[in-house]
Chain A
């Protein structure tokens, strides 16, 4: 009787563990192994760090890395700051129509990455909606998708549109846990709204900023759908990202080992950047 109940949790957890082992754990380890091999004459042979040394001399890889970092460094902070501002405004007690704004801001986050990338690709054409609107405020047409700087900027813009509401909801959840009395006490002491934002809101959001920051880091480092559909990696390789380069090597040139090596560079970068963010935001 007792022995039987001991087995119960294992039955409940078995499907998840088996599926995880086959479709997640095995592939993660297999691609690490693959990254140390090369394909020659129909078989895989152990090649040590060959793929990784090849990466060091691959200029497209370095372009992809620097593009990914450009997008990461601009997009993540802009988005998180906007999300925090919107969340703290929406958390204000005075406001009406809270639910309406909340749902509207979240709406972009439910659209498929392919759909919104294509939508932006239409709006950002040279004679498209964006330049048309700019012309009304006297700004000359910007070559959004055909200039190497603006193409990267276009991706930053599109991603910010797609993800700000999502992060806003995450921040809002955390804000609702800050007792209203803290703000009241601060106002009695004469602290203005902006002072309150920096001395109450930001410090109490620290752990959740870390959470959102790491999620966004993982998302940005494997960026694929947007450059694939919005810019096709172009012009030239101006929006080539690590995710896109893994796809090209793996599924256009069928160089699985090299593709796996790039994937593991991404794994390492995620680990390093998450660690840095932990150090940076964590007090302990």
Chain B
């Protein structure tokens, strides 16, 4: 009896690892194949048997891609827009979250509810008026148009608020009794203790902006202002597609954000876990 339960457990364990390994291959293999593709010529992606080892076309693909989309400029646009966006959106969401979590004021619950409900409204319902607004003020094709619209990001406010709620109010009270100004309290006492929450939120915001596609596609008119995803999407659809070049583009779009995630994954996953629990 005891023996059979033990064998059953071992089998269960083997089954578990087998299942996980299958999903591991499915999750990770496309990334490997992407890297292999970026170092091979276009036709190597359609060979039988498949090409599974890196080739020597890395530089050629890189040069070709640069010629088609201007990697430096496009990468700069994406990094600049995402970087500035993260800093500004972090300030907006941290201050708002602090007010929601640590102050009693008229209208607090109404505003917070409206923010939460707006997360249910599809983004596309705002797209056309946003476009008209930017067109009216001659702001299409500018960095402003890319950065401004989503600076108030309700999910980021929600994420930060959950963390601010845990901040002890007594600390705020004693700082006030010592005569510290409200802004100073926020900057010097509250924010420094919120580093993990700030890290999680900034990864989230960066990923959002770095990967954003539909709005830049609409708001940007000229190739020199393209963000990386928009430039990447222009690679398909032409009569002849150079897949080596495209794989290089896919790799460049994927690798920085992946490294960013892997370095900060502890914060990100715990930030996500924290928000989903409540």
Dominant secondary structure of chain B at its interface with chain A: helix
Q: How large is the interface on A (under 10, 10 to 19, 20 to 34, 35 or more residues)?
A: 35 or more
- Asked, given contacts A111-B258, A122-B45, whether A16 binds B92 with beta carbons under 8 Å apart, the answer is yes
Q: Tell whether A24 is near chain B: CB-to-CB under 8 Å.
A: yes
- Asked, given contacts A86-B23, A103-B262, whether A122 binds B122 with beta carbons under 8 Å apart, the answer is no
A256–B131 Cα gap in the complex (Å)?
A: 10
CB-contacts of A101-136 with B (<8 A): 101-108, 110-116, 118-119, 121-123, 125, 127-129, 132-133, 135
- Asked, given contacts A118-B232, A119-B30, A122-B37, whether A28 binds B103 with beta carbons under 8 Å apart, the answer is no
Taking CB atoms, residues of chain A closer than 8 Å to B165 are none
Taking CB atoms, residues of chain B closer than 8 Å to A8 are 103, 182
Dominant secondary structure of chain A at its interface with chain B: helix
Q: Tell whether A247 is near chain B: CB-to-CB under 8 Å.
A: yes
Q: Tell whether A17 is near chain B: CB-to-CB under 8 Å.
A: yes
- Asked, given contacts A16-B152, A208-B276, A263-B122, whether A118 binds B236 with beta carbons under 8 Å apart, the answer is yes
Q: Tell whether A89 is near chain B: CB-to-CB under 8 Å.
A: yes
* Residues of A that sit less than 8 Å from B by CB: 5-6, 8-13, 15-17, 19-20, 23-28, 30-32, 34, 85-86, 89-90, 92, 94-95, 101-108, 110-116, 118-119, 121-123, 125, 127-129, 132-133, 135, 161, 165, 169-170, 172-174, 176-177, 193, 208, 211, 214, 218, 221-222, 224-225, 228-229, 232, 243, 246-247, 250-251, 256, 259-260, 263-264, 266-267, 270-271, 274
List 9 contacting pairs A-B, 8 Å CB cutoff, sorted by A. A9-B99, A15-B92, A19-B152, A28-B118, A101-B20, A107-B28, A119-B247, A169-B273, A228-B233
* Further 15 A-B residue pairs, CB within 8 A, beyond A92-B16, A118-B236, A256-B132: A8-B182, A16-B152, A24-B118, A30-B132, A89-B20, A103-B262, A107-B31, A108-B30, A112-B229, A112-B232, A116-B30, A119-B34, A161-B30, A232-B236, A266-B122
